[in-house]
């Protein structure tokens, strides 16, 4: 499974480079295309796992005035 992350920035918020640093420290990988980041679970993840990573993303990005969306899908 993989969780895809889209991030929307505010001109009044944190720098994209700081957002990138924090997300990659969590294990996300930057990518180009429809999504900004991907987290590879390496196996199936349950709803609780997905909620926990959402909580971690929120805490990690807190104070940077960014909005994010997570989409988790099975192997393609």
pLDDT in tens, 12-46: 999 999 999 999 999 999 999 999 999 999 988 89
Domains of the chain: 2-73 (3.30.70)
Helix boundaries (H) for 7-63:
16-26, 47-61
10: exposed, middle or buried (C-beta count within 10 Å: 0-12, 13-18, 19+)?
exposed
Segment 44-75, tens digit of pLDDT = 889 999 999 999 999 999 999 999 999 999 85
pLDDT for residue 14: 92
pLDDT for 3: 96
Q: With the C-alpha atoms ordered 34, 38, 44, 48, is the resulting torsion angle positive or negative?
A: negative
- Give the Cα-Cα-Cα angle 13, 30, 40 (nearest 5 degrees): 120
H or E element: which one contains 7?
strand 2-8
How confident is the model at residue 75, as a pLDDT?
A: 56
């Amino acid at each position: 499974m993989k969780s895809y992350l889209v991030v929307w920035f505010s001109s009044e918020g944190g720098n994209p480079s700081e957002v990138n640093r924090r997300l990659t420290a969590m294990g996300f990988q930057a990518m180009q295309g429809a999504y900004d980041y991907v987290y590879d679970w390496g196996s199936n993840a349950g709803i609780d796992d997905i909620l926990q990573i959402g909580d971690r993303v929120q805490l990690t990005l807190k104070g940077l005035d960014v909005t994010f969306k997570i989409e988790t899908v099975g192997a393609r």
